[in-house]
Amino acid sequence: MSLKELDLLLIGRTGTGKSSTGNSILNRNMFKTSDSMSSTTKKVEVEYSKYKGFIIKVVDAPGIFDTNLSVKDSTKEMYKEMGTAIAASAQGYHAFLLVVRFGDRFTQENNDTIKVMKEIFGHDFLKRYGVLIVSNGDQFDMNKSGSFQDWCLSQKGPFYDLFAECGYRAVLFDNKSMEQIKKEQQLNQLLEIVKALSSDGQRYTNKYFLKAGAERAKIVKQNKPEIQEHNMKEASLIIQKLGQLDICDRAKTLHRLQKLQFRTEEMLNNVAYQDKHTGALKDIIQHVNRIKETVESYIIWTESAAGIQSIVIKLQQQIDEHQEHREYQVNLISEKKLNQNKLTALDKHLKARVKELELEHLDLSRNTVTRYALMVGKVLAETMLEAAPIALGFLGAVAYLKK
């Protein structure tokens, strides 16, 4: 079964529990959360998790309308941050999760925030794709207030307005809960709502998303050949080095492997950064990951090869010492042979892994670098053809004058 995507954007005022809710959705602590009223999340962050056949992408944004900033500066900041949030998921979002805190008083500022957000995302974005997330669910007393849904419906004033604005969709989140069942229940409830919002997998999008998508495609397209070529070159050099290693030379090999490990890690970071969550460099990321895995296995196997080698050396010493005990010596010799075979098998196995990497690399090369080279070649050929009549005319004139 192919995994379906769910792209979610967390929005809301500073300190309402956006990052904590993001962590609850991801079921692991990926986003930094705050202990104070000052803004913790400084820039848009993206994290993923796999859950019930979905790849959930959670985009955590800084709090809008930070209390330390003037309204003008806050609005400017908000435009900047929401621009980044749009670029982080240019194909649109399956839901906008507007986070408020249970027990908070709702004021005019909330409405102002929503007004600016509507300018960016469109007047109906919450109506169509908004879900109100009420954090601090641990403060909600069901015995006193009844069910959360009933409680929402019984509210008046700004909270009810927000609830209505989000199409009467709300989920209570206790981000402090340690109970696995409760954690899953609240997440499942959210997923059910989001699935119903976009039953055909459709995301909410508008002209800004389309523009971001076009810009991003342009940038990726412009940079991809260069990025690919640079990375493919580095990958190729690492594979080449792997092929030159000798598993039996522990000291030298381990030293070289550590260097290669550092290079692959650095490359992986670079390529992930260049990809900017576009997926445009997915193939090369997978490839580098496999190189990294091979380097790591190589390190482990070099260590075990060293262990086997010292056994072989010890056995040889014993063989030498027991020249007169022929029968005992025969056993030692066969044991030594057994260990030597283990070493050969290990070496063979590693060489096969490197060969696989080489083949994969070649395949990828054909699909990327060569394709771009062909593309460039085609353009070049067209340019040359265009220039040809002038050049031919010039040559013709020279020949005429020479006569």
Ligand X SMILES: Nc1nc2c(ncn2[C@@H]2O[C@H](COP(=O)(O)OP(=O)(O)OP(=O)(O)O)[C@@H](O)[C@H]2O)c(=O)[nH]1
Paired tokens of 272: 């992930």
Closest to ligand X by CB, 80 or 255: 80
Q: Does 33 bind ligand X (CB under 6 A)?
A: yes
Q: Which of 8, 19, 75, 256 binds ligand X (CB under 6 A)?
A: 19
Beta bridge partners of 49: 56
Q: Does 141 bind ligand X (CB under 6 A)?
A: no
CA distances from 67 to 39, 56, 135 (A): 9, 31, 19
Q: Does 97 bind ligand X (CB under 6 A)?
A: no
By a kind-dependent CB cut-off of 5 to 8 A, residue 14 interacts, out of Mg ion, ligand X, none, with: ligand X
Residue 46: which H helix or E strand, with range? strand 45-51
Question: Least distance in Å: CB of 102 to ligand X?
Answer: 8
Q: For residues 50 and 72, is the Cβ–Cβ distance under 8 A?
A: no
Q: What angle do CA 177, 62, 8 make, to 5 degrees?
A: 65
Question: Least distance in Å: CB of 256 to ligand X?
Answer: 44
The rounded distance, in Å, linking the Cα atoms of 167 and 160 is 11
Q: Does 63 bind ligand X (CB under 6 A)?
A: yes
The rounded distance, in Å, linking the Cα atoms of 63 and 21 is 13
Q: How does 105-142 read in b/e, with b if 16+ C-beta sit within 10 Å?
A: ebeeebeebbebbeebbbeebbeebbbbbbbbbeebee
- Count of CB atoms situated within 10 Å of the CB of 31: 20
The rounded distance, in Å, linking the Cα atoms of 312 and 344 is 13
Question: Least distance in Å: CB of 75 to ligand X?
Answer: 16
By a kind-dependent CB cut-off of 5 to 8 A, residue 137 interacts, out of ligand X, Mg ion, none, with: ligand X
Question: Least distance in Å: CB of 34 to ligand X?
Answer: 4
Q: Does 132 bind ligand X (CB under 6 A)?
A: no
Q: Does 137 bind ligand X (CB under 6 A)?
A: yes
Report which DSSP code applies to 202.
P
- Name residues whose C-beta falls within 8 Å of residue 334's C-beta, 6 or more positions apart in sequence: none
Question: Least distance in Å: CB of 48 to ligand X?
Answer: 18
Closest to ligand X by CB, 20 or 198: 20
Q: Does 213 bind ligand X (CB under 6 A)?
A: no
Q: Residue 204: what are its φ and ψ, rounded to 5°?
A: -80, 130
- Count of CB atoms situated within 10 Å of the CB of 33: 17
By a kind-dependent CB cut-off of 5 to 8 A, residue 174 interacts, out of Mg ion, ligand X, none, with: ligand X
Q: Does 110 bind ligand X (CB under 6 A)?
A: no
Q: Does 175 bind Mg ion (CB under 5 A)?
A: no
Q: Does 175 bind ligand X (CB under 6 A)?
A: yes
Closest to ligand X by CB, 34 or 185: 34
By a kind-dependent CB cut-off of 5 to 8 A, residue 213 interacts, out of ligand X, Mg ion, none, with: none
| Rg of the chain taking only CA atoms, in angstroms | 31
Site for Mg ion in 19-38 (CB under 5 A): 19
Q: Does 138 bind ligand X (CB under 6 A)?
A: yes
Site for ligand X in 274-313 (CB under 6 A): none
Q: Which of 229, 305, 317 is nearest to 271 (CA)?
A: 229
Closest to ligand X by CB, 33 or 270: 33
Over the window 364 to 403, marking each residue x when it contacts ligand X by CB under 6 A and - when it does not, the resulting string is ----------------------------------------
Paired tokens of 176: 């402090």
Closest to ligand X by CB, 81 or 165: 81
Interface stretch with Mg ion, choices 14-22, 108-116, 120-128, 291-299 (CB under 5 A):
14-22
Q: Residue 6: what are its φ and ψ, rounded to 5°?
A: -135, 110
Q: What angle do CA 69, 70, 71 make, to 5 degrees?
A: 115
Paired tokens of 123: 């007047």
Q: Does 44 bind ligand X (CB under 6 A)?
A: no
Q: Does 186 bind Mg ion (CB under 5 A)?
A: no
Interface stretch with ligand X, choices 114-122, 132-140, 338-346, 382-390 (CB under 6 A):
132-140
**SS3 of 102, please?**
coil
Q: Does 28 bind ligand X (CB under 6 A)?
A: no
Q: For residues 63 and 72, is the Cβ–Cβ distance under 8 A?
A: no
Note the residues at the interface with Mg ion (CB under 5 A).
Answer: 18-19, 40-41
Note the residues at the interface with ligand X (CB under 6 A).
Answer: 12, 14-20, 33-35, 39-41, 62-63, 135-138, 173-176
